[in-house]
Amino acid sequence: MTAFAPVQPATRRDLTALFAPSSIAIVGASNDPGKYGNWLAVRALRDQDTRPAYLINKTRSTVLDRPASPSLTALDRPVDLAVIAVPAAGFDEAIDDAIAARVKAIVAITAGLGESGQDALARQNAIVARLREAGIPMLGPNCLGVLDNTTGLDATVNEFRPGSVSIISQSGNVAIDLAEHFTDQGLGVARFASLGNAADLDVADLVDSCVDHDGTEAIAVYCEGFQDGRKFARAAARAADAGKPVVLLSVGRGAASTRGAASHTGSLVTSTVVLEAVCEATGTELVSSPFEMANLLQGLVRTRPPAGRRVAVLADGGGHASLASDSLEDVNLAVEEFSGDLATTLAAELPETASVSNPIDLAGGGEQDITSFVRVAEHLIDSPETDAVLMTGYFGGYGDYDPAMAVGEVQAGRDLGALVAQSGASFIAQTMFPDSAPAQALRDSGVAVYRNVEHASWVLSRLTQRAQVTSHPLPELPEPAQPLTETGYWIARRALAAAGVPFVPAAEVATAEDLDREVAQLRYPLVLKALGDEHKSDKGGVILNIADRAALDAAWHDLQARLAPPTCSIEEMADLSAAVELIIGVRRDPTFGPIVLVGIGGVYTELLKDTRCALGPVTAAQARTLLLSLRGSALLTGFRGKAPVDIDAAAELVATVSAYAAAHPEIGEIECNPIAVTPTGAIALDARIILPPSTS
């Protein structure tokens, strides 16, 4: 049985001095306005009244008309945070000086280290070893610094509007781009940390720190790679369980990552699939652009996730009402017709021309009485028939249409925001006028506001999905078992059978004499498989429905003549008349560990690509959920009069394979395809285990 543990705080490093230092020193402070050392010094001195700032320059006694010291150790007072912006040639000396001065944290702006080749990487690793021995955390090197708007720390080179979202980014430019999108959405930054080379502190360390930070409501992560995927998973799951969602933007998610994969499982489990599985397990939201990230974060920090899929559409115009309804249904949300009682209640607030069945079209009600938006919204929020409200269309533009309405429209925005805040409702808005004063009143009151209805609908859909899972226990990896050192069909078959995977009776044969001896133990009809080629069925290497000894001899001689396989497998033929064929596999990701795959299998695996993945190992209950989430799951539950198959048996088989793979970290890929699942059980008809070249 797979063991699961609640998300435990990993061994976390104290990063107080990184985000809330009592003093700061700029090592490499400069008078040259073209250098980072100048920009950082200017910003540090700007906050000197609240946080002492010291300038370090080996050759100048003054910088920016302020006294400068030749080294940290030459100062007569302690330094919490040292920001190092010296050329790469002087970086070791600056680090040794910081260690000797007993600084509490380091931000390394310096480039030209681990990103510059193997020799520089070895040098960087040696520096990190010295820092860890001294107990000093380092951000970077090759980074853009750190900022904490809640403590007033500004040790970076760009402006970040204050807010409640923390940004952890491997790319400084992406972080700046993201901050611009935040501004467009009315969001701001609590913390910013530039990972750079992430030689010491990694994304998981910083996520963990943000979970413990009162000023952070959500965490935006841009990462180009994870040193320890399981460590990140633990931190992200902890963040989700603490109500501080992580939104992840990553690169390298294309199909190129699976080149050289040796099995169907390997080719189907792309880097994107791996990230999707990890994100699903940890409650992390995966996005594809800074724009998507900002859109989703606005919803996450301003909108309570809906308890269900039923959305009420509130519009002032039939066109927007219809567009919003279609957009919601496109993302699997429901715009259900209201009951007669609710429709009657709404009609009492609106002109006779209004439509009140859902979607609601105020039909000019806004022009006649702008407060009708608030009254209708209140009825919708109070109704048990709705889980969320999407307001869409012209709100925000009435003041331009009639200046006399401007003040009332802004007040309506405030009143809507107050209503949502007081009720805790799931309420989201789209408007043609997102920069208007009424739209700003909505944002200031805590309502998420979007320009495009498809974006509002997409965010509402993501929030609805998020509400379905409230905790994120992660699978524990077992202690490694005795490793496999060689593979082959029969080695894989025996190993998996010993682990509890059921197979049809069979025997391995290399000669006609072997065939004579082994066939006596088997029942017809039989299958004869030529071994040594994973695509044996495509080459006529699998002969089915062998009814008697004469047919077996003919099949044997045919395979020897055409393919000359080193060995063959002779197996009893399973009755597939009532069976569904599945594929079950595990691919070991070098960063995140075992990733479990299930799907519709057999010869249609590559054609249909109907698969689902999860961070492994999985329990039988999780495996059952995966199986029932396949597009072809109706084949399992009974389709067109066929009896349902034994999903529980299939799920147990998935759990067994995943547990075996998790206990064997030397295995690169493992696959059982097909698995025949019948109304009475599940049985493996084929198996492959693949070791990476270095271990085979």
- Confidence (pLDDT) at 256: 45
Task: Please state, as a whole number, how many other Cβ atoms lie within 10 Å of the Cβ of residue 256.
Answer: 9
Q: Any residues with CB less than 8 A from the CB of 326 and at least 6 apart, and which?
A: none
Q: Which of 200, 196, 141 is nearest to 170 (CA)?
A: 196
pLDDT attached to residue 4: 39
Angstrom distance (rounded) from CA 490 to CA 497: 10
Tokens of 544: 């089915």
Q: How far apart are CA 645 and CA 637, in angstroms?
A: 6
Using CA atoms in the order 647, 648, 649, 654, what is the torsion angle rounded to 10 degrees?
90
By DSSP bridging, strand 388-392 and strand 311-315 are parallel
The interaxial angle of helices 91-100 and 118-134, nearest 10 deg, is: 10
pLDDT digits (tens, 9 = 90+) for 591-623: 999 999 999 886 666 666 788 999 999 999 999
In this structure, the strands spanning 4-5 and 311-315 are unpaired
If you ran DSSP here, which 8-state letter would residue 252 be given?
Answer: -
H-run or E-run covering 58: none
User: According to the model, what pLDDT value does residue 271 have?
Assistant: 77
Overall size of the chain counted in residues: 696
Superfamily the domain 505-572 falls into: ATP-grasp fold, A domain (3.30.1490.20)
Instruction: Tell me, rounded to whole angstroms, the distance of Cα 680 from its chain centroid.
Output: 37
Nearest to 627 by CA among 601, 604, 599: 599
Find how far residue 97's CA is from the centre of its chain.
40
Superfamily of domain 580-690: ATP-grasp fold, B domain (3.30.470.20)
| Whether 509 contacts 486, CB under 8 Å | no
The answer to whether 671 touches 585, Cβ cutoff 8 Å, is yes
Angle between helices 549-562 and 512-519 (to 10 degrees): 150
Name the fold adopted by 304-467: Rossmann fold (3.40.50)
Closest CA to 110 of 100, 102, 98: 98
Q: Residue 550: is it exposed, middle or buried by C-beta count within 10 angstroms (0-12/13-18/19+)? A: exposed
- The CATH class that applies to domain 16-145 reads alpha beta
For the chain, which residues score pLDDT lower than 50?
1-10, 254-269, 695-696
DSSP string, 178-195: HHHHHHHTT--EEEEEE-
Residue 513 is predicted with a pLDDT of 94
Among positive and negative, which fits the CA dihedral 344, 345, 351, 353?
negative
State how far the Cα of 652 lies from the Cα of 622, in Å rounded to an integer. 10
DSSP-derived secondary structure letter, 258: G
How high is the pLDDT of residue 266? 40
Per-residue tokens: 97? 């000086």
pLDDT number for residue 607: 65
Q: Which residue ranges make up each domain of the chain?
A: 16-145, 154-301, 304-467, 505-572, 580-690
Query: What local confidence, expressed as pLDDT, does residue 252 receive?
Result: 61
**pTM listed for this prediction:** 0.88
Determine whether domain 154-301 maps to CATH 3.40.50.261.
yes
Provide the pLDDT for residue 285: 97
What is d(CA 185, CA 477) in angstroms, rounded to the nearest whole number? Answer: 41
Q: Which residue has the tokens 């030529």?
A: 530
508 CB contacts (<8 Å, ≥6 apart)?
A: 489, 490, 514, 531, 567, 568, 569
Q: Do domains 154-301 and 580-690 have the same CATH topology?
A: no
Helices and strands per DSSP (H, E), number in the chain: 25, 31
Q: How is residue 696 written in tokens? A: 């085979």
